[in-house]
Amino acid sequence: MKKVWVNGCFDVLHHAHFKLLEHAASFGELLIVGIDSDKRVKELKGDDRPFHTQEERKYNLERVKGVKRVVIFDSPEMLEELIKTFEPDVFVIGSDYKDKPIVGGQYAKSIVYFNRIENFSTTKILSNE
């Protein structure tokens, strides 16, 4: 069974998230989604985030077709340990990470980059841009 990993905040699910998850699911039978904890989202995005709690985000993602499991991480070290434990065949990540260090990437057999879909971002949605 081919295992696939993807991670992110997934705060307000939108079109690009669904396309990313659909793309990731196409690489295997077991898609695990790692999500940033509420504490981590605040650190990364500011005090007014996340919009949805980690439990709400986890619940929503667990209902997306193709997603088999959702795990919450609180630090880069915890993220790396989860990926190491999971040992994915494929790690799907946004193309904006090309030529950048990828936490846990060394534990995946391959890394696949997903091209960002323009005009879709949680930050944009929440700011009504």
Whether residue 66 contacts residue 31, with contact meaning beta carbons closer than 8 Å, is answered with yes
Q: What's the pLDDT tens digit per position in 55-88?
A: 999 999 999 999 999 999 999 999 999 999 999 9
Complete domains list, the chain, with CATH: 3-126 (3.40.50.620)
Whole-structure pTM value: 0.87
Cα angle for residues 16, 18, 23 (degrees, 5° grid):
95
> What pLDDT sits at residue 119?
63
pLDDT digits (tens, 9 = 90+) for 22-33: 999 999 999 999
